[in-house]
Structure 1
Amino acid sequence: MSLTTEETEWFSQTFAQLVANVEQAIVGKTEVVRLAFVSLLAEGHLLLEDYPGTGKTSLARAIAQTIQGDHHRIQFTPDLLPSDVTGVTIFDQRSQQFEFHQGPIFSNVVLADEINRASPKTQSALLEVMEENQVTVDGVTHQVGQPFMVIATQNPIEQAGTYRLPEAQLDRFLIKTSLGYPDHESTVQILTTAPKGKAATVLRPIISGDNVLHLIRLAQQVHVEPTIYEYVSSLTEGTREASEVVLGTSVRAGLALVRAARAQALSYGRSYVVPDDVKSLAVPVLAHRMVLDPEEDFRGTTTEDVVRRVLERVSVPLEPAGR
């Protein structure tokens, strides 16, 4: 079923309102905020690799407030247990029955802070919920709420006592990006408008969770030409053929790129995907799913560099006439 003009305009206008609302708390980072909402509306998760104090927690809180949802922050540490994330089953002596007590993962927006500081066993507790939106504890499956999004962070400078995220988990994140430090003008604005004391900025909700789900359904209806599928397939194959890597991107990465491109296209008021949607999202969607050859890593090559070279090599399809 094709999208109507009214649906397309409503999505685009609502998306702009969501971004503008979050920018009251996250100043000068429009592109990152847009990527966060593209990830949310494409039913994906966001990985932020950033320094302390750049606003990662504020971003998660602002998104949760904007969509009228709840949020939890989980501080990942070496002694964190899987049950601390998913929840635990406890025997109630009064009722003589086992009761499930939900963990912090049962939220609309979950901030997994410094995710690489937890053990691989605890990190793996997120694999099921990030892929299937459900948690299985003691053989019983529990559905998490909708919408659902994990925003995970890791610190790029403090690697002592951390565990590298396995490829299977990195593949669960739709987008990887960073906030970075604000520019001079944005920093001055933050210092000028920041609330006195430690109180955080409280944002008014723009839409309800049900309307977010409606936005997600609309994004799924965005038209994708066969040539776009061919283009995405060529890009993922190009990463696998690149001599600089030992592991390229999978079919899951291609599916993720198409989902993200659909959401981005509709955010710009288009009911169809164009090659520029794919090109602009290729690095944040594909780069973190690849593993560099150790020699290339030593030379200073990055997976982002490899994706950009693949983009230069793969021919861009022409937009169909009439679009």
Structure 2
Amino acid sequence: MASWLFACLLTLVTVVVLPVPGVRAEVFTALVHMEGLVSLEKELLGGLESYLELERQRLGRVEQFADRVRLALTSASQDPSTHLSDPVNAYQLVNRFTNGWATLHDHVYEDNAQGLMANISYYNFRFPDTEDFTGAVTAILRLQDTYRLSPSLITSGKLGTTTTLPMTSEESFQLAMDVYDSKDYRYARDWMKETLRLLDEEGHSSTVDLSDVYDHLSFAEYKLGNLKRAAHYTRLMLQNDPTHARAQRNVAYFEELIRTEPEKYINQDDERGEEGEGETAESRESMTQYERYQSLCRGPWPLVSLAH
């Protein structure tokens, strides 16, 4: 059963990423080219690790100088006159200003990134572009639609039997932004909410701006007709950034719409139902060919049961 299901899954993903003939993204649909990207990333990682080692050495020299200054100031601050009456202490103080701080300036502005950036620039023509990224996003969304998967299952790295790295909040946010820009607000809403969940897990280690997530999530809910939720996320945005002028205006706008036109903004939320829910012989008769294909792929065995 599992092999049949994954064959169906593989077919689906292949169909999803097939490009229009002549489009540059075509090169990335072939497995051999994707494997080439793995080899390329391995080479780029080698350059990045060399850069990080040089940076560790540079920061080590800066930290060493800072330790010497801390130690000297601890001694000098107790009794500066007595401290400086020692010619060795006086020499060290003058030396730090004539040589140490000047050398520190050189260390701070030392550029170890030239080799790394040159390497990246050299291979840049082999990088996927934004069209390839959109194709990869589309593959995930089709997979999500066909198997009725929650974003959290996809980001967990436990989908199926293949070892997958869990997605970060940055990756989730980038996916959410791609579908947001294409005006697919239901998917944007789902993936923005998943980004919030990942941000809670990651704490302060993420580079994603929380206000940015609330802002886009609020607008997505507004476009879906969910004004109470739109107002809720805008208030959370204001809690995070009380000076945000547009958020202040939006809260007042949403509340006014809710008060004056409640019948127009009934909650339109249509979160995706449970897998297979509502599928009967009669409903399958009215399905399109692709919808029947999706239903067949789901079969009686949910994909989540194969998660490790």
Same fold (TM over 0.5): no
User: Counting strand residues as a fraction of each chain, which structure ranks higher?
Assistant: 1
User: Counting helix residues as a fraction of each chain, which structure ranks higher?
Assistant: 2
Q: TM-score, normalised by structure 2?
A: 0.26
Q: TM-score, normalised by structure 1?
A: 0.25
Structure 1 or 2, whichever has the larger Rg, is 2
